[in-house]
Amino acid sequence: MNMIFAVQKHQGSHLHYDFRLEVNGVLKSWAVPKGPSLDPAVKRLAVAVEDHYLDYANFEGNIPKGQYGAGPVMVWDLGTYTLEDSDNVATSLANGELGFVLHGQKLRGSWVLVRTRNSNWLLIKHRDAYASSEDITKLKPRSVLSGRSLSEIKSMYNQ
């Protein structure tokens, strides 16, 4: 079964990427400070944060000052994912390891989320045809929805 995933580039209190997976009608979410890496040797910290509504996967704009997460948000990648070794995402997450295959515009192939402690996880790319040492966040910095940069989104939606 295909479920949606989204990666949103977000300039809140600090620049980070929000990695989101559809699970049981919501988007389970992790803040990834340095963004995803296509290099299997690089393990990216992913801190579990609150769930979001499914519709939020397409949100691009400015979160107003004074609200939680204030700042510009772009849809950096969007697509679907399938499970690798399990048929139950919630159980795999509860057990601390989830293997999945991304079918995105920028991120593709096999990945795993592994819990290290508390709300800290690691987002790791598996070795496959989509693995690369190139920095995908620098190579493809623009929104998959609008083609805009984060600064263009900020100025466009700034009141």
Domain ranges in the chain are: 3-157
Which of the four pLDDT bands, split at 50, 70 and 90, describes residue 158?
Answer: low
So what's the pLDDT on residue 87? 75
pLDDT at 80 over 50: yes
Contacts for 41 with CB less than 8 Å, ≥ 6 apart:
none
Per residue in 21-33, pLDDT tens? Answer: 999 999 999 999 9
Greatest CA span in the chain, whole angstroms?
Answer: 47
So what's the pLDDT on residue 159? 46
d(CA 63, CA 91): 32
